[in-house]
Amino acid sequence: MSEQAHSTVAVTGVTGALGSRIAARLAERGVPQLLVGRDPDRIPELPGAQRRGPAEYADASAMRTALAGASTLVLVSGRPRGRRLEEHATAVEAGRAVGVERVLYVSLIGAAPTATYRNARDHWLTERFLAGSGVRHTIFRAGIYASTPAALADEDLVVSGPGGSGRAAFVTHDDIADVITAVALDEGSGSEHDGATLEVTGPEAITLQEMVSRIATATGRPYRYVPESVEEAFARRWRQGVSGVQIESWISWYQAIANGDVSAVTDVVPRITGSPATPVERARWWPEPRTTG
């Protein structure tokens, strides 16, 4: 445990895969934390951490109560339900009202108003909000999660979609958490990370075929990738009763890979953590299929 005195960090999303990893790392380093969640019963218990909530990003009053006492806010982005900019802005303003001086925001690789991957578009809006807010901030554009193809598999462990033979620089949750933790610990004013946008990727760009085959090797289970045309993908999901918004989001994830939009490999993981980015087959966590194909 570090001997250095740290100021208090509030971490949101701690009931999820990324926030829980960030919180665990900060606890290991002796950082006092406020762990913020919508369901306090599911917030982890960690040394040096207070559990705060229930607090939903859109609830300014609950967020002010939850964030009181923190100087840094690690804001894990919420789910895309159409009001993410407003939710994130409310959370940031609530933090600022009670003394938060710095925001570390988890965005998405390729964030842009015209991003192929539908879910990356409103991350760009939150990035713009932060840029204009005057608060010290760092943006982490998380690469495509290595875990996602495993979650997208159906009950037969088949991952199908219109990803073609495009490549993505899949990245593990653990590497992203390591990067964010390192930046959170670099808390002095004038940190080189203030105002930075860090694109956090894996060590190489691989096709979905390769990715799924590595998941099969890593898990010892027969995952496989079956490419589909966009038309086949739409028709299958529509038959399954999936909503139009979800079909669009899901197809656009594959299309971003097919187009090569998420294939750039950056040096952020080794530069910030001092360790090479983890090859995807060495990921320590594979979610079970969500059986939604």
Ligand X SMILES: NC(=O)c1ccc[n+]([C@@H]2O[C@H](COP(=O)([O-])OP(=O)(O)OC[C@H]3O[C@@H](n4cnc5c(N)ncnc54)[C@H](OP(=O)(O)O)[C@@H]3O)[C@@H](O)[C@H]2O)c1
Binding site for ligand X (CB under 6 A): 12-13, 15-19, 37-39, 56-57, 76-79, 87, 106, 108, 142, 144-145, 148
Minimum CB distance to ligand X, residue 190 (Å): 29
Minimum CB distance to ligand X, residue 91 (Å): 7
Between 17 and 192, CB nearer to ligand X:
17
Between 188 and 210, CB nearer to ligand X:
210
Nearest residue to ligand X, by Cβ distance, number only? 16
CB 17 within 8 A of CB 172: no
Between 29 and 38, CB nearer to ligand X:
38
Minimum CB distance to ligand X, residue 229 (Å): 23
Distance CA 19, CA 142 (A): 13
CB 183 within 8 A of CB 195: no
Between 31 and 152, CB nearer to ligand X:
152
| Backbone dihedral region for residue 110 (phi beyond 0: left; psi -120 to 50: alpha; all else: beta) | left
Minimum CB distance to ligand X, residue 1 (Å): 25
Among positive and negative, which fits the CA dihedral 248, 231, 206, 172? positive
Tokens describing residue 16: 């999820």
Distance CA 73, CA 68 (A): 11
CB 56 within 8 A of CB 33: no
Minimum CB distance to ligand X, residue 111 (Å): 10
Among positive and negative, which fits the CA dihedral 130, 59, 290, 254? negative
Between 43 and 218, CB nearer to ligand X:
43
Between 79 and 239, CB nearer to ligand X:
79
Between 142 and 258, CB nearer to ligand X:
142
Residues in the chain: 293
Minimum CB distance to ligand X, residue 78 (Å): 3
Minimum CB distance to ligand X, residue 5 (Å): 28
* Strand spans (E) along the chain: 9-11, 33-36, 49-52, 72-76, 102-108, 136-142, 158-161, 167-168, 197-200, 206-207, 224-227
Neighbours of 7 (CB within 10 A): 13
